[in-house]
Amino acid sequence: MPDIKDKFADFKSGFVAIVGAPNVGKSTLLNQMLGEKISITSKKPQTTRNRILGVVHRPCSQLVFIDTPGIHKAKRPLNIRIVEAALSALGNVDIVLVMVDVANPDPDSEDFLVKKLKKIKQPVVLALNKTDLVKKPVLLSIIDKWAKAYSFEAIIPISAILGAQIEELVEAMEALLPKGPPLFPEDTVTDLPERFIAAEMIREKVFRLTGQEIPYSTAVSIDSFSEEKKGALVKIHATIHVERTSQKGMVIGKNGSKLKMIGTEARKEIERMVGTKVFLKIFVRVHKNWGKDTKALRKFGY
In tens, the pLDDT along 132-154 reads 999 999 999 999 999 999 999 99
169 and 222 housed in the same domain: no
In tens, the pLDDT along 75-112 reads 555 555 655 655 665 767 899 999 999 999 888 888 88
Mean pLDDT of 60-69: 85
Per-residue pLDDT at 203 exceeds 80: yes
25 and 111 housed in the same domain: yes
102 and 231 housed in the same domain: no
Any domain includes 179: no
The full DSSP string for 267-302 is HHHHHHHHTSEEEEEEEEEE-TTGGG-HHHHHHTT-
| CA-CA-CA-CA dihedral for 202, 103, 51, 69, to nearest 10 | -90
161 and 17 housed in the same domain: yes
Confidence class for position 73, pLDDT limits 50, 70, 90: low
Per-residue pLDDT at 43 exceeds 70: no
pTM passes above 0.85: no
90 and 205 housed in the same domain: no
106 and 254 housed in the same domain: no
What SS3 state is found at 135?
coil
Any domain includes 156: yes
Contact criterion met (CB below 8 Å) for 262 and 251: yes
Any domain includes 146: yes
Any domain includes 142: yes
Q: Is the pLDDT higher at 85 or at 9?
A: 9
Q: Which of 174, 206, 234 is the last residue of a domain?
A: 174
203 and 137 housed in the same domain: no
Q: Which residues pair with 240 in a beta bridge?
A: 220, 284
Any domain includes 183: no
Tell me the pLDDT of the chain averaged across its residues.
Answer: 82
Any domain includes 71: yes
Looking at the structure of the chain, the number of domains it has is: 2
Cα separation, 130 vs 158, whole angstroms: 7
Q: Which domain holds residue 42?
A: 4-174
145 and 250 housed in the same domain: no
Q: Which of 114, 144, 174 is the last residue of a domain?
A: 174
In tens, the pLDDT along 263-295 reads 999 998 888 777 788 999 999 999 887 777 777
Sign of CA dihedral 84, 298, 206, 34: positive
In tens, the pLDDT along 210-230 reads 866 565 678 888 888 888 877
Any domain includes 133: yes
Sheet hosting strand 277-286, strand order edge to edge: 219-228, 233-242, 277-286
66 and 104 housed in the same domain: yes
Any domain includes 94: yes
